[in-house]
Amino acid sequence: MLFGRSKKNPIKLTDKGAVEWKYTTCGYCSTGCSIEVGLNSDGKAVSARGVGDADVNRGKLCIKGILEYELFETPGRGRVPLLRNRRDETFQQASWDQALMRTTDEIKRIQSQYGRDAFAIVSTGQIMTEEFYTLGKLARGLIGTNNYDGNTTLCMSSAVSGYKRSFGSDGPPGCYEDFEHTDCLIAFGSNLPEQHPIIYWRMREAREQRKFPLIVVDPRVTMLAQMADMHLAINPGTDLVLLNALAHVILAEGLQDEQYIASHTEGFEDFKALVAQYDPVSAAKICGIDEDTIRNVARLYANAPSAMSIWTMGINQSTHGSDGVVAINNLNLITGNIGKPGGTSLSITGQCNAMGTREWSSCSGLPGYRALEKEKDREEIAKFWNVDPEFFPKKRGLFMTDILPAIETGQIKGLWLIATNPMTSMPNTARIRKTLERLEFLVVQDAYADVETNEYSHVFLPAGLWAEKEGCFTNTERRVNLIRNVMPPHGESKPDLWIFNSIAKHFDAEGKVRFPETAEAVFDEMKQLSKGRLLDMSGMSYAKIEQQRGLQWPCPDGAATGTPRLYSDGVFQYPGGKAKLLALPFVDNNERPDDEFPFWLNSGRVVEHFHTRTRTGKIGNQNKFSPTPYMEMNPDAAAELGVEHGRYARLVSRRGDAVVLVQCTQRVSRDMVFVPFHYHECVNRLTLGLLDPHSRQPAFKQAAVRVEPISDQTAAAALNLAARAY
Ligand code: SF4
């Protein structure tokens, strides 16, 4: 294949010999790009390409998607089940029967000895929706523990909580097409070019056509901030103050949409009284954005015919993440920007199937956005699953971030981790290590046997990865897309669906509860349960999803296609149909820099890595861009401390320390350092992770550290190398 034929040295792309292309969906971020994996004549995956007629990515992929086909042969994969009696023993290979028997025996022993809730389950945002649904049926309907949650508490629970508080239900109301209609965009704590490159490309293309203003709110000069019309370098953790001040200006200057507020919201008077306290002069002193800028942004947003807000972890990973989401929703409700083209509150989700777990896993309730607290929902699901409704708890149990402390206090004795890696992803690594060591029984189910958390397990269950299985993911814009089975699972590993179904047989030998064997049959059950609900998928089928390259719910039976936006009729999910405007006072409870720890510690993603690098750290052409733990530091601050660019330095917080390579850059202010969160034994040795009271999501991005130069650079390099070995 040749480009630039008229030029002297045309670029040549190697023909990798793909003879067959199989349809799938990217298994990294929540953008939801459609991918075709190319297989050569030996059936080996040799290439990948974006699907040209898929609306999400229109033929494009980012570096992770382009190289994703290499995952099938990455090192560190689990090949066989592993067993040991104690953590300090060497693992022994085992048969699946032995591993599943040991797991179910231990779950039963712990539950009979300490009570049903003494065994906890924490899953992920990475497996298929059909697998989430099946795990939920097993956890809620057969095992019966209420301490069951997902690692999405670390990334999306503030968005879930905020949507529920404002609109009466989870579910992002907007879509990517909104970029093509909007007249003003504010991005809060969202660095699209690195986190969601293809959403960024959609936004950028729309902006080139229509030149709408882009305002970026972020303490760091991110890639997106560099391209913005206005960059509001906010003080960490003070978004709520800025949002209240924007609302203050809008109401003080009469720029609100009175008709929308009167017809579709309640709580306006209390909200108005609260934001009256957040005048721009006072707010500027807290959030660090000057009063004129606050007024200008408020006017720009409220006067735009349609305006939209997007956000990611800069809002969610905060002690007031849920309030931040509600405040964004407030802004869009008072300006009438919900459910219309270009007007929306769009949470950009994290993991490829964080939405799938929110919708169907039963972690926070029961499947299909049903609640444990509602008798009608319990009865309906109990009847459908053929279980006793009294077996269900009447309110949700602990979040992931409360399950781990409950191990510390002895309330929880056994844990099953599915495709999640708390040894790297949870704040305060030293505390998590001690926590896992206290468990009587830990089972780790993962595609990789070398995942850090597996060092603490008694049983390892090797699982299939991405397109070694079949099923669906839901992306940020509620689009359900299909992953076709491209490869058999590696070694003797099994699809997560098979593992859940097999464990179910140990709890229900007579087969009282039906566990369909194929993903498509599970999908049929979900369709039935979705009928008439907000997330109606009854009009979907695998064939139709593939043919349309994904369908957005609601897609009721008989519908030709999906629905791009929620709440276009102004009817919300609360009884009475009105959204809530909520008054949100700011409580400043974060750890802050002081004389001993004078820097803000900020963290985030880089484009070439995903989460804890279990996958991207194994692909050479990705890992080479940032193979080692590093930090961005302002050159003036570095010079003052005698810290040099390209050398190692030590970061110290009240929790621990980490050795990082220094990268001097003006992207960060003099009182801040930024560290990518992907590395083991790095940023989370330092973080405090105070929890949001509503969502229980940790404040990963607000902690205080000091920076120390290191004289022994050779020893520092050895420590840094050890951290990157994972
Ligand atoms: S943008 Fe996200 S979904 Fe698309 S290819 Fe990249 S990682 Fe995959």
Average pLDDT for runs of 10 along the chain of length 726:
56 82 96 97 95 96 94 94 96 98 98 98 96 98 96 91 97 97 97 95 96 97 96 96 98 98 98 98 98 98 98 92 97 98 96 94 95 97 98 96 96 97 89 94 97 95 97 98 97 98 96 97 98 98 98 98 97 97 94 96 89 85 86 97 96 94 96 91 88 93 94 90 72
Backbone angles phi, psi at 194, to 5 degrees: -100, -35
Task: Tell me, using a 6 A CB cutoff, whether residue 660 lines ligand 1.
Answer: no
Beta-strand runs (E) in 399-513: 414-418, 441-446, 459-462, 471-474, 479-483
What separation in Å is there between the alpha carbon of 602 and the centre of ligand 1?
24
d(CA 412, CA 148) in angstroms, rounded, equals 11
Task: Tell me, using a 6 A CB cutoff, whether residue 33 lines ligand 1.
Answer: yes
Contact indicator for 553, 355 with CB cutoff of 8 Å: no
What separation in Å is there between the alpha carbon of 64 and the centre of ligand 1?
6
**Residue 6, pLDDT score:** 64
What separation in Å is there between the alpha carbon of 216 and the centre of ligand 1?
22
- Across the strands, what pairs with 150? 123
> Could you tell me the two tokens for 260?
């929308």
What is the number of alpha carbons within 13 Å of residue 498 lying toward its C-beta? 15
What separation in Å is there between the alpha carbon of 504 and the centre of ligand 1?
34
> Which atom of ligand 1 approaches the CA of 196 most closely?
1
**Residue 363, pLDDT score:** 93
Task: Tell me, using a 6 A CB cutoff, whether residue 167 lines ligand 1.
Answer: no
**Residue 13, pLDDT score:** 67
Residue type, 512: K
Instruction: Give the dihedral sign, CA 29/31/34/36.
Output: negative
What separation in Å is there between the alpha carbon of 132 and the centre of ligand 1?
21
Task: Tell me, using a 6 A CB cutoff, whether residue 26 lines ligand 1.
Answer: yes
Q: Which helix (H) or strand (E) holds 37?
A: strand 34-39
What separation in Å is there between the alpha carbon of 200 and the centre of ligand 1?
11
Residue minimizing CA distance to atom 6 of ligand 1? 62
> Which atom of ligand 1 approaches the CA of 29 most closely?
2
**Residue 8, pLDDT score:** 65
Q: Which helix (H) or strand (E) holds 632?
A: strand 630-633
Contact indicator for 424, 726 with CB cutoff of 8 Å: yes
Pick from 408, 411, 217, 444: nearest CA to 310: 217
SS3 309: strand
> Could you tell me the two tokens for 690?
């105070």
Instruction: Give the dihedral sign, CA 607/612/616/621.
Output: positive
d(CA 472, CA 133) in angstroms, rounded, equals 11
**Residue 2, pLDDT score:** 45
d(CA 381, CA 375) in angstroms, rounded, equals 10
For a mutational test of ligand 1's pocket, the pick from 62, 190, 355, 483, i.e. the residue with the most ligand atoms closer than 8 A to its C-beta, is: 62
Place of tokens 């301490």: 147
What separation in Å is there between the alpha carbon of 49 and the centre of ligand 1?
12
What separation in Å is there between the alpha carbon of 71 and the centre of ligand 1?
14
Torsion of CA 602, 607, 613, 618, to 10 degrees: -150
Residue minimizing CA distance to atom 2 of ligand 1? 29
What separation in Å is there between the alpha carbon of 576 and the centre of ligand 1?
39
Q: Which helix (H) or strand (E) holds 150?
A: strand 148-150
- Across the strands, what pairs with 370? 366
Residue type, 459: V
Pick from 146, 533, 519, 507: nearest CA to 368: 533
Task: Tell me, using a 6 A CB cutoff, whether residue 256 lines ligand 1.
Answer: no
d(CA 228, CA 28) in angstroms, rounded, equals 26
Task: Tell me, using a 6 A CB cutoff, whether residue 196 lines ligand 1.
Answer: yes
Task: Tell me, using a 6 A CB cutoff, whether residue 550 lines ligand 1.
Answer: no
> Which atom of ligand 1 approaches the CA of 475 most closely?
3
Residue type, 641: L
> Which atom of ligand 1 approaches the CA of 28 most closely?
7
Pick from 67, 50, 38, 48: nearest CA to 622: 67
Task: Tell me, using a 6 A CB cutoff, whether residue 343 lines ligand 1.
Answer: no
Task: Tell me, using a 6 A CB cutoff, whether residue 197 lines ligand 1.
Answer: yes
d(CA 612, CA 350) in angstroms, rounded, equals 13
What separation in Å is there between the alpha carbon of 23 and the centre of ligand 1?
15
**Residue 7, pLDDT score:** 64
Q: What angle do CA 435, 448, 407 make, to 5 degrees?
A: 15
Contact indicator for 687, 432 with CB cutoff of 8 Å: no
Task: Tell me, using a 6 A CB cutoff, whether residue 61 lines ligand 1.
Answer: yes
d(CA 472, CA 481) in angstroms, rounded, equals 5
What separation in Å is there between the alpha carbon of 18 and the centre of ligand 1?
21
d(CA 257, CA 72) in angstroms, rounded, equals 53
**Residue 9, pLDDT score:** 66
> Could you tell me the two tokens for 664?
């001097």
Residue minimizing CA distance to atom 4 of ligand 1? 33
- Across the strands, what pairs with 351? 29
SS3 286: helix
Contact indicator for 464, 87 with CB cutoff of 8 Å: no
What separation in Å is there between the alpha carbon of 193 and the centre of ligand 1?
11
> Which atom of ligand 1 approaches the CA of 352 most closely?
3
Pick from 641, 650, 642: nearest CA to 723: 650
d(CA 274, CA 271) in angstroms, rounded, equals 5
What separation in Å is there between the alpha carbon of 31 and the centre of ligand 1?
6
Q: Are strands 2-3 and 11-12 parallel, antiparallel or unpaired?
A: antiparallel
Task: Tell me, using a 6 A CB cutoff, whether residue 483 lines ligand 1.
Answer: no
Place of tokens 């579709």: 264
Contact indicator for 420, 350 with CB cutoff of 8 Å: no
What separation in Å is there between the alpha carbon of 355 and the centre of ligand 1?
15
What separation in Å is there between the alpha carbon of 225 and the centre of ligand 1?
21
For a mutational test of ligand 1's pocket, the pick from 30, 31, 610, i.e. the residue with the most ligand atoms closer than 8 A to its C-beta, is: 31
d(CA 486, CA 468) in angstroms, rounded, equals 6
What separation in Å is there between the alpha carbon of 651 and the centre of ligand 1?
32
Task: Tell me, using a 6 A CB cutoff, whether residue 50 lines ligand 1.
Answer: no
Pick from 532, 347, 410, 356: nearest CA to 114: 410
**Residue 221, pLDDT score:** 97
> Which atom of ligand 1 approaches the CA of 31 most closely?
3
> Which atom of ligand 1 approaches the CA of 35 most closely?
5
What separation in Å is there between the alpha carbon of 498 and the centre of ligand 1?
27
Q: How far apart are the first and last CA of the chain?
A: 37
> Which atom of ligand 1 approaches the CA of 198 most closely?
1
Q: Which helix (H) or strand (E) holds 63?
A: helix 63-66
Residues 6+ apart with CB under 8 A from 523: 129, 130, 471, 472, 540, 542
Contact indicator for 266, 299 with CB cutoff of 8 Å: no
Q: Are strands 599-604 and 459-462 parallel, antiparallel or unpaired?
A: unpaired
Place of tokens 């083209």: 341
Task: Tell me, using a 6 A CB cutoff, whether residue 142 lines ligand 1.
Answer: no
- Give 273: exposed, middle or buried? Use CB within 10 Å, 0-12, 13-18, 19+: exposed
Please tell me whether the peptide bond between 219 and the residue prior to it is cis, using omega within 30 degrees of 0.
Answer: no
Please tell me whether the peptide bond between 462 and the residue prior to it is cis, using omega within 30 degrees of 0.
Answer: no
Contact indicator for 583, 274 with CB cutoff of 8 Å: yes
